[in-house]
Amino acid sequence: MHTLFAPWRMAYISQADKIECIFCAFPREDKDEERLILVRGEECFVMLNAFPYNPGHLMIAPYRHTGNYDDLTNDELLEMNLLAQKCIKVIRNAMSPQGFNLGVNMGKIAGAGFEGHVHLHLVPRWNGDTNFMPVVGDVKVLPEALHETYRALLECWRKYE
């Protein structure tokens, strides 16, 4: 077995059960770039995933703390999906992906990292983005730094306002 050392993760692991919901805490702060919040709507906001599957992996969440997709108000549901639609246009323009995955994980068993706050994942996909590294090495390679992706998407987003 190979060992990948990631000592910076211990700070998160040791506090994981004490961490406030990021989808509640981050929007209250005035640190959009630091927290990777790309855009704020009336009911929902868009942020980059700090642990992305691929570059440009976004999450769209309502400001209101609710864990179930079926508990979203009509306004939250509509804005979440309209933001997703616009995010697809922005990412297509900025990054030229060949496809997308969109999904909501509800509940821990479904893979929800923050099961108490529903959010929509939007993951751009490219031919070959699943390569030998995750299959053989159990390691994911991200070719771009998060803040570079953030700046590129923010610049492109502004073109669509």
Q: Is 10 within a domain?
A: no
pTM given for the model: 0.79
Catalytic residue among 2, 57, 117, 119: 119
Domain count, the chain: 1
Q: What is the pLDDT along the chain (161 residues), one digit of tens a residue?
A: 555 555 655 655 566 566 789 999 999 999 999 999 999 999 999 999 998 888 999 999 999 999 999 999 999 999 999 999 999 999 999 999 999 999 998 888 887 778 899 999 999 999 877 644 444 445 555 666 788 888 888 888 888 77
CATH of the domain at 104: 3.30.428.10
In a domain? residue 3 = no
Task: Give which of 20, 80, 121 is closest to 29, Cα–Cα.
Answer: 20
100 vs 30, 84, 126, 127, 153, CA distance in Å?
A: 30, 11, 8, 11, 16
57 part of the active site: no
Cβ atoms 97, 143 nearer than 8 A:
no
Domain span including residue 114? 21-159
